[in-house]
Structure 1
């Protein structure tokens, strides 16, 4: 059966959820072959096998931690040569999209980013994308080389599908460019205890209507009641009310959760570009003419300072 390369996103051997979703999609196209590099790569094999990886190609070395993305591209190129896959799937993170682009150039292949689904087609894999604030769904196919597709988080279910998961060491020949940019230092991000924004199944975001950093605890309380991540619009971030790392939008992060709650967000196209593929969208805004209401599944016209606390209280009551 044809094989599909899946680039593994992991932290010291802990596989992140978007990779498990990629394995679900890869099984539609052929036998998934996972590529895990860096510290703890070998420790990913058990989880990857449990979710359908027939082979796990691993490579470890200081290059993956000491330098930027080029060593990872070198590893993916090595895996490509060893497997001859029908497609290459990567998560749609900023780093993975750079890896995908560099890999596509090296292999003379076409690349499609930010897909929300991948389907098997007679002429090759078909990538499904949402465009123009989810007003259109496009289906695209790579016609040159091997399809390289990055997929947004929360685009596919995670399901167990036990496979062999045979671990094989990947021989990687690092290019001259691999050591061109060195990582000088790292500062661990302070944990909030909430899910990672781009991977969360539920996201609660606040915008200009929150009217100050001192009011964002309302948004956080609602998010915590739902086990959700907290996001913010560009207006809220530019005003210094919430960290830039939580910005949702064209110049921030793209999210695709099962549920997105927008509180006090007008719905400018810049923000919509970052959350338009959410499965269910709920908006709370006192302006009945706000553009966000053109996009939502459910809209609440009301003051968020009245609505959000009541919603949080009701959720907590039902959980009790």
Structure 2
């Protein structure tokens, strides 16, 4: 039409545009319309199912939900059960070792990569790659590696060391540490990324002042860098503790909770009660107890974040 208009000497029609007021309204509210509805649906989903699970935990529900309240009976049954005691003891062992080992490995990798080594991007990708792998795959692969009949033990023995023994996977006392190894392998790259971001956010003037004073590399990290990234340590600790409490598929794929119930964790107890024994009310009580454990980690952290922002606000004001 514009070509024809030019041929006959008529000015072309301008392109249609939204009125300025409508365009401004769209630009202002479109991000909210895209973000808020899914977010609100997710929040309502989590809150509603949490409340429903809590309600079920106070009932005598089995395979079919029952709405007759029985008080705290399910909670006392769970807390007094042998499986729950073993599961929480394993959780303490696993959590302590997993958080310590993962934090140490992540910090060490971050410091090494911070030396501006060659192929830094490649190494970062390699160390972060395990986080892209599902915990089921991680558990399955490590189950092969730690299997005495086909894994590391067999490989070393075939190399001429018949007395070598590495059978933790089938040892009741050591099986829990196989979960620590697999979990640390997967999560250490995540800790490394957080530590590396924190290290590189330290002001360059602090490095220069320490170098002028004659401090070596490791002393600079110990005396200047690490104290400056204290909040990163807390964030890593909180995230890893969440991983610990919610660990299920890794244990399910790696040990299945065995040998026996030697590597049973609270998540497996919930699964066993709800889906294998059909004790819905008791399983819900175990799930609520896990939620309380998670809140015991998150609430102090959010309190710390709020206190830190308040302190910084007062300092800047």
Tell me which interval the TM-score lies in, with the shorter structure as reference length: under 0.3
Rg comparison, structure with higher value: 2
- TM-score, structure 1 length as denominator? 0.19
